[in-house]
Structure formats: C-alpha cells, structure tokens
Structure 1
C-alpha cells in the first residue's frame, strides 16, 4: 500500500517527517511511503508576529485541506503548533516517543545564562517565552523573531542579538545539540503544550492506517498529550496569550507544570502540582481552576418562580454555573437545571428571617467569583425590580468583578396575568404603578397614596401582604372609591397559587375568611374585574390538587405534565440511580440474537456504554430487541432502532409476551437493574443461553419522616422501590388516596397494608395522569 505524507518544507519539518517515515518503513516493509511538501500561510508570511495574526492554525490549514481532499493520506505536525480544535472528519493518531520538551537558549557570545550581560537582547516570537524569561531576568529585552531554525540563527548574527530561545527538540532532531548554551528547567520556563511531541493527523475513516500508526505509540507521550492539550483546551489558549504546560512522568508519580497570563504579561501565573497517576484528572482540573482569572457573576432574573417562565439565557446560565446563590421566591425545580457539581447556596429573605444580610451576600458574590468561573445570582422576578440587583452590581463593579444582568419576567406582570388580570386594558387602565409596600425598616413605604387614589391606572403593591390593612385604609382616606376592585395573589404563577378577589370595602374580611401566605401581590384597579372572564389557572383540570410524588431520581416528565394541568406537585427523593456501564465494555454483542431491556435506565446504560467505547448501533448487529414499555422503546427509537413491546407495560406482560416469542436456540442478553422480575428471568432461561447483566442499581434512601401525608390529596407511586422507601410514611393515621402505576407497584402497596389504591389503566406516566384526573374529578364532585 502506498501512503503520501504531508508536511511543511522546513529542514525541521522534513527531519521530523523522515523520522516518522523510516519508523513506518521498518515496521511495515510491504508498504511504501512518500513525502509531499506543502507550504502554509505561516511559512509565506514572515514579517508579522504570530500573536498579531488572527488566524488559528497558521501552519496547518493548507495541510489539513489536502488531507480532507485526499491528496495526502496523513500529515506530520509539531503538536505545539496545532489549534485546540481540528476540522470535522480528521483525527489525531496516538503519540509516538517524544523529544526533550524544554526550551533552549542559544547564545551568540556569552558562555552561559548566568554570564549573559545586563540588558541583553534576546530574540523570540513567543509571548510565553518572553514573559517567563523577563520574570527570571527583568533586565533582559525581548525582540520578536520569526522563521525556521536556520533563519533564526542567521538573524541572531545579522541583528547582533545576544541570543535566541527555541525548542530544544528542534535542535535535537536536526543534530544541532552543540549549539545549545542553556536548557531551561520547567520550573524556570514552562514549555509550550505538546512541545517535543509530533502530531500525526489522519482522516477518521482510515481505520486501517490509524491502527498501523497507533501500534507504534508511546504511553508516556500519550499521557503528556492528554494533560497538556487538556490544559490548552480548557483554558481556550492561543498564540495571543502566554500559555504552556508540561507533564513529567516520574514513574511513581507525575509532576505537572503550567503557566498562563494575559496578553501584555502583567498577570502571569505559574503553577506546579504533583500527584499519583490516578489523580491526573484532578490535577488538571485543579490547574485550570487555579489558573483562570476571577470568574464572572451573572445577576439572573428567575421570573415569577416557575421554571418554565425562566428566560432561555437564564436557563443556559443555570446549566453552566459553577455556583448558584438563590432566593426564596423560586420553585425548587429551577435548581434542577444545575450541573451535579454546582455549589448551591441559599441566601433567601422573608419578613423577619434573613438567611444572609445583603452586605454578606455582596461579599459572598466576590468570594465565589474568585473561586469559580461562572457564578449565578438567581433572583426572583427581575434583578432590578425591587431585587437589590443594582446594589449587588455596584459592589461587584467596585471590586473589579465582571458581571452581567439577565432580565427576568417580573411577577408584577406575570402574577397578574396568571390571576386573569391584565395590568393595562384599553378604556379601563392606560398605565400602571408598581411600588414596594415596605421600606428598609419594614414599615409602610413612603407612597404617594393621594396620586394613586386619584388615578385610574392599575397599582401593584409588591411584598405587601402584612401591610394590606394600612394600604386599604390610606387609599380610602385619600378618597379612593370603596368599591374599587382589589385582588391579593399568593404564590403567583406557582401551582400553589391562590387568589382572593374583592373591593377595598370588603377585602379585609375576605382575607380573614380565606387567609393567604406570602409572597403575595396586591392589585388595585378596575382591571381586576376582568378576572371572571380571563382567569385560566383555576379552570385547569387539576387545579388545587396537592400531590406527593416519591421517586428515586431527578424530576420526571410526569411532574411537568401534572403541573401543566394545575396540580401542586411535591417530589420526594427516595433514592438514586447508579449506572454500571463498564460491565458492558467487554461484551461482544454478536454472541446474542435477543436483547431484553426492562427499563429506560437499562437502555440508557446500553447506549452510554456504546458511546464510552466509541461504538455505535452497528455493534448491536441484528438482535431482536424487546422492551417492557413505551418509555424504554422511545430511547431505542431515538437511535433509529425498532423494538417490540407487549400491549400491557409491565414485567408480567413482557414475560408472557416473550414466552411466545423466544426459541430454544436463542442466545439472550438481559439488561436490568438490581431489582428485577424473577418470573421474567425464569422465562428467559428457556433460550439456549442467557447472559444477565445488572447495569444499574436503584439505591433506596430514607425519606423525611416528618412529612405529614394527610396534607396531600394524593400520593403517586411509579415503582415498588419508592413504596418501600416510604414504608414509615404509609403507617401514618390518615393516608390519602394512592395512585399506582401498575400491578407490580399495587402488589407492593397491598403488602404494606394499603387499601385505598387506584391503579392506572396502563403502566405509563400518561396512564397515571389519566387515573389521577378521574379520581380528582370524583373528589371535586363530592366537595
């Protein structure tokens, strides 16, 4: 087989490529290899400093294009010249044995670095080298220099430079080691990421060629590649900033050096970490964390509190955040957008009970900005509408911390809409006032009640429930009509929203009859009377239904669907799912012709394992796949795989289904959790071979026993493990209606002594919701 190798045309590039060519020729004598020289933009433009050129990949773009065009078969680069991202369709092969990574000083006259004269002039085209050199010797003057090894040596003589700094690896590969005057240790000068390592770049589809090249790889070089390039990518490094990393493998441990700074070198950080080989990812993460400048704080408006009313940018920042400081005026499911390792800090305030003073919050924001790259201050409503966001922004500005404000939908607008009240309406109210009902001393705020009383505009009093009587009295005293409509909205937009409508004359009495909790909005104006026609929340099918939903992992689609129908859902964590995807790594799926998955978790584990092992659906071959229900089937369908499911979604139905489908000669792969149907297992044994792999575990944890379940209208159970976790709760004196997803869960409930059970008509979330609606409709009819 003939292979064409692409490379630049410098002596060093050709020396590197010839070295690769000779190793390949020795390893694969039946193949032939020839070299194609390609000129790059970086080779053509020699009069502009690298950091002044905006293009990435100055020395590789043309070569990569020829690789994509199939004019060459693979390319040889210096890894340190490669951008952190390469074009789609290309990949790097494994690294081979590398040269000395350190930087070398070549002197024109002086015999050593120590004897270099004061104010010496040193040539280098690298900010990383220049800034580190000046840290060692502030007196040294650095001048820009470009070109290959020969060109730079000539420039040193012609321009009478005292010396130049270049990679020791280049001099070694060219046999010019005797020209080196001094080699900087990593403690003195951290090398460029990947310096001394060759990057062999191929097309992803050329698997045979990649295998040949990878067979000659070196483990220590691969470790250096992983750590140093990992640092470069995480720091989003380029030639515009000084950045370097070097990993020393000392057999019994590793030593990681890194450097990073800003463009002008005024803030240059060097770091040296040591640890075991097993701690390498931790070292890399720590290095990136320590090197990054202080993070940015985002003042994010959480809107009226519902996660589905959060802005798209707000959601994206919650998903990205390293730390979230959040308020009280938010539903907890909004925090589920946060990644697993995000630090969550509650700083909420309510009347007479402040988790943290505002001054402490300000200081904490600065502290966390120095600790994390992305800090989110999640505030109810809009940060600048009675949210003290302006104070926080000014404090951050004073402390030199970058910040950004992400507006939110104010509850002054959204809360009214959810109560069926338009804040303005043609012919009724042409404007509106939004005021805070209390001042910083928690007394009634200094409000111009006379102007409000005379105006036809809508007036919204924020945080005013405790001041309602005073507000009503002052409005009446200023001449406001006693029959002016007024509404008090508690927990506006939440599934627990309650609203009391009345007039200035009778609202006090109505609130005594129907007390409300804060946070609450007070709305005064004729637009309130429109609620009878425009109200929609109270008309939702499950409005007012309080549901306790014990479940063993994160928020489900059923919770969302129930809330959309108006139910107030409280999720109760009963456990955690742990996946064991590595148990599938050694499997050869060709050995099986039947695959059985009992839940969406086993399906997820399967596809995650394929991804981890760089496989795709072709690895599953022509297996017949059987699933317990539609949720599991959906995961396969998303990967364009058709599966068979029984008409009834439960393990017993699947057992009966498979009893008719399986043949004695079938070889079955059974993927399940740690809790599975023994009956199903016995049915699967009828094949010639059964391989059972437990790919996840449902770890049951104890639940809060202080929860009073009589405060709920219904309990919903979608698995037996949740029932077992709630065993003590179910022994309370007053147990509400129980909704069960299927017969298996119902059986577990009956074993626990529960009788007031309604089983879903089919074992899916939609089946549960259908039964919940049916039961709630009957309860409302009784009421």
Structure 2
C-alpha cells in the first residue's frame, strides 16, 4: 500500500503569521515541499532537516515549470511513499489551480488533503484597510481572475459584473488593466467609481494606490504599479484612510537583519513583525553543547556549596538547566544560592525554570555584573563566598579577574562552543545584494566578529547599513572592526534595542 500523501496547503497572502496552524504542521512533517513564487520563504524554515525543496514559481508568462510538469512532480514524489506539501500562495482553491492538481491526484489514486489558506482577495485587502463587504457600501463581492488562459480572452460576463453594486476584486489583472477598465465602463459601471491597487499585500513592500475607474489604466503607468497587485473596485475603497492599519505601523517598510542564533531570534522577530518591520534572520553564531557538561555541573554542585551562580547569556541559562535536568538533579539544592544575571532577557530565561535573579545588571558587560556581585557579597556578609560561572568557552575572563581582585573563589564551567556559522554565507550575500537593509542588530561581540568573518572581502556590503548594538562591549567591537556605530541600546535588552530603532526612525 502506498504510504505517500499530498497536502495542498494555502500559505496565505504573504505575512508569515497568516498561515494556518495545520499548514505549519504539514510543513514540519513534509519530506518534500513544492512551493510557488508568492510563498513567504521564511515558512520553509519550519521544515525538518533533510526536507527537499522544489521551486516551481510562476511570474506572468515566465514559468519555471509548466503546470503539467508540476502535476507530474507532485504525483511522482507521492508515489515514492513521500509526504509532499504543495505550498501555494493564498488559498489553493482560489485561482491557485489547486483543483486541477487535486484532480490529477484523485485520478492516480494518491491520497491527498486540502489545507485552506487566507486568500489575498480578502486578507490582502484587509491589510490595506479595505473590507470586501460593508453595510453602507457592499452587501456582496465578486473575485475575478484578470489573467486568461493562453490565447484566450477573459471569460467574464461583463454586463452582469458592471451592474453589480458590490465589491469586485481582480487577481492577476495588471497586465489586462486597460481591457478590464474599458469593459466595466462600457457595460455601465460609473467611471467615477473608487478603485485601489494593493501591491505586495501583507508584506513590508505593501503599497496602496487609490484612484477612479476611469483613471486606473493611466494610474498604473504613472505610478509604476506592477504585479503582484490586487485591483479592487467599489465604494469600500474609501474606507482605507480610516482602516488601513498596516502601512501606519511604526516600522512599516523597514528591513532589519538579525544576527543572533535562530533559537533566540523568535522574540526579536515577533516584536519587529508586530511593529510592521521585516526581519531577515541570518544567525552568524553556531551554538553546540560541550560533552558531559551535565555530569561536570553535577560533580561541582555535589562537591561544593556556592554563594552565587552567574549567567551572562540566555544560552548559558538553557544549557545549565537542561543539562542538570537530564542528570536528574534536584533543584531544591540551589535554594540558598544567589543568582546573578546580565540583562532582562537573561533574567527572563532564568524565570522559565522557576528561579528569579537576585542581581541583574542593566548593562551588557560582565564587568558591571561582577562589580554588583562583589557589592552583594560585601553587603551580605558571606563567610566564604564562592561563585559558579557556567558560560561559553569564549566568554571573557573579566569575571574571573574581578572576582580574583576581590579575593572571591570562582569556578568557571564552559558549557558550549560558540563558532562561526559559515552555512549562511550564500543566503547572506544574496540578501545584501538584492535587498535594501536598513538596520543590522548585534547582541554580542561574537555576532559582529562572525558576520565580518563570513563576509570576508565583501564586508563593505554592510558599510552603509545602520548598526545597532545591545551594549558598550559590542559597540566597541563594531568600532574595532572598522565600522561606525549608529545606535546603542540604553539597556542590555531586546526591548531597548527596538526602542532605539524606533527613536532613530522618528528622527
């Protein structure tokens, strides 16, 4: 029995967050993903290791792969007992040829499911503040393809469509806009009817241009409107001034490169996305646990009672607790320890494991935290203070030096390696050459050093991009490597970095 299966999945109109939960589940279990041009490629990062990607994008008459060949590719892979995801922009059954693909699968006896998506004809217009229905303007809507079969005219009942008082939405209609507008006016639609073009709907390049039906063709040429664009006709267009929330977001249109590890990127990406910005995740760091760290930590904690534990990064927190959990450690043994943390993000990571930092440095430097620990030791009257310092193998020696100066015993345990992630080089160069990046964020000196190392002779590609640092040590590394520092966060936190970017945007 064939175990292969095909999921025809709608990826939504472009915004990463508009795919369904079921759609994400399908991506995560796929052996092969066959995807279109308008799919947000960040969605592909949810695929499992080893998943194969096949691009079959189409742009007007320029097709990477003909539809018959696409059908054949889907069926052949499913017949080889593969889980195949056919990932399509919008909804697979709304001018996405999903029906044709499903018919082929049915005829060949291949198991399949349809996973609906948010169609751009509704979701894309919503991001422009244009509802397809409204009690004062439209009690119905029509969605029409503006792209005909090869060598055919548009098969549309223009007389009926022109008399329709509701909203009319054309998909893929820019190439035929002159014919579309002429036919609507010829068959009775008021030439003064409000219309709008929404280009690149729901992504950071979105642009909404409004005009009248009689001016639409000239507007396309005058404004340089190109596909992919929605063309909407009707009174609801006038609501966009009030309801157009997306293009009013404070970081709308801004592009921000994030260089920290992908595991830690989610919080930063979500906050930037919420503010309307576009993130490009290029993790310059590769984090790997060192061998036997759980046993090493367990031995240290059994052998010695510490007064303080110091965490200077989110990674050290996660690896410390997860390693001890694997070893079956009873965390009640940490009850008398004072916990010290660099920055609010590290403190939040500690709270995830049921502990609260007693000492928190608002600065991103180990030296500042070390001084706070010495102050805490002096004021706390500890008889024989000692510090456990779980950290990266490339962590600065400043903590040891300051503790030594204060005659405080410190045990350092290197939990993980922190190395350059050369795997991103091709993607990084491609983005820097194709995209206009506004900001690059750096959350540690390593992110700066490794980015420059990855770029090599191409490092001047980032020369004119604004550089955002989490704190003074990272800022100095940026300068030491020959670049100007543009923005430094007031505190060592993601929220502070974003606030600094917002302040720069509003200058």
Whole-angstrom CA distance in 2 between matches of 1:565 and 1:602: 29
Return closer, same or farther for 1:564/1:472 CA change in 2, 3 Å cut-off: same
1:408-487 to structure 2, matched below 5 A, reads 408-441=117-150, 445-487=154-196
| Secondary structure at 1:641 match in 2 | coil
Corresponding residue for 1:736? 465
Q: Determine the C-alpha separation between the residues in 1 that align with 2:400 and 2:9.
A: 51
Is this contact kept in 1: 2:403–2:409, CA < 8 A? no
Checking the alignment, whether the CA contact within 8 Å between 1:496 and 1:568 is kept in structure 2 is: no
Alignment partner for residue 404 of structure 1, among 98, 103, 113? 113
Structure 1 vs Structure 2 CA RMSD? 2.6
1:389 to 98, 101, 114: 98
SS state of the match for residue 711, structure 1? Answer: coil
Query: How does the TM-score come out when normalised to structure 2?
Result: 0.88
Specify whether residues 471 and 299 from structure 1 end up closer, same or farther in structure 2 by C-alpha distance, changes over 3 A only.
Answer: same
Q: Alignment partner for residue 411 of structure 2, among 687, 690, 694?
A: 690
Task: Using CA pairs under 8 Å that are at least 6 residues apart, name the structure with larger relative contact order, 1 or 2.
Answer: 2
The structure carrying a bigger helix percent of its residues is 2
Quickly say closer, same or farther: Cα 1:777–1:358, change in 2 above 3 A. same
Name the structure 1 match of 2:245.
536
Residues 306-705 of structure 1: matches in 2 within 5 Å?
A: 306-371=15-80, 374-441=83-150, 445-554=154-263, 555-580=265-290, 582-587=292-297, 588=299, 589-592=301-304, 593=306, 594-615=308-329, 617-618=331-332, 620=334, 622-651=336-365, 652-662=367-377, 665-685=384-404, 686-701=407-422, 703=425, 704-705=428-429
Cα distance in structure 2, aligned partners of 1:372 and 1:623: 54
- What displacement does 1:449 show? 2.5
Q: Tell me if the contact between 1:590 and 1:620 (Cα under 8 Å) persists in the aligned partners.
A: no
Query: Equivalents in 1 of 2:5, 2:383: separation in Å?
Result: 63
Q: Is the 8 A contact 1:553 1:577 kept in 2?
A: no
Q: Distance in 2 between matches of 1:461 and 1:451?
A: 15
Please say if residues 254 and 277 of structure 2, whose CA atoms lie closer than 8 Å, have aligned partners that are also in contact.
yes
Instruction: Indicate how the Cα distance of structure 1 residues 355 and 680 shifts in structure 2: closer, same or farther if over 3 A, else same.
Output: farther
Deviations 1:717-767 (A, max 9, x none): 222223224435552496133222211221111112333511111111100
Supply the distance in 2 between the matched residues of 1:464 and 1:528 (Cα, whole angstroms).
17
Counterpart Cα distance in 1 of 2:291 and 2:359: 24
Distance in 1 of aligned mates of 2:481 and 2:31: 42
Please list every run of 5 or more consecutive structure 2 residues that lacks an aligned counterpart in the other structure. Answer: none
CA distance 1:748–1:430, shift in 2 (3 Å):
same
Cα gap change, 1:334 to 1:464, in 2 (>3 Å) = same
Q: Name the SS of the counterpart of 1:421 in structure 2.
A: coil
Q: What is the CA distance between 1:526 and its match in structure 2? A: 1.5
Q: How many residues align?
A: 487
Q: Secondary structure at the match of 2:262?
A: coil
SS of alignment partner, residue 339 of structure 2: strand
Q: Classify 1:733/1:596 alpha carbon distance in 2 versus 1 (closer, same or farther; 3 Å).
A: closer
Task: List aligned pairs for 1:274-289, cutoff 5 A.
Answer: none
Q: CA deviation at 1:618?
A: 4.2
| Residues 709 and 735, structure 1, Cα contact 8 Å, conserved in 2 | no
TM-score in terms of structure 1 length: 0.58
Change in Cα spacing, 1:508 to 1:548, as seen in structure 2 (3 Å) is: farther
Give the unaligned 5+ runs of structure 1: 1-266, 268-292, 779-783
Find the residue that maps to 1:585 and give its secondary structure. Answer: helix
C-alpha spacing 1:501/1:586, structure 2 compared with 1 (3 Å): same
Q: Which entry has the higher C-alpha Rg, 1 or 2?
A: 1
Residue 416 of structure 1 deviates from its aligned partner by: 0.9
| Conserved 8 A contact 2:393-2:414 | no
Report SS of the residue matched to 1:569: strand
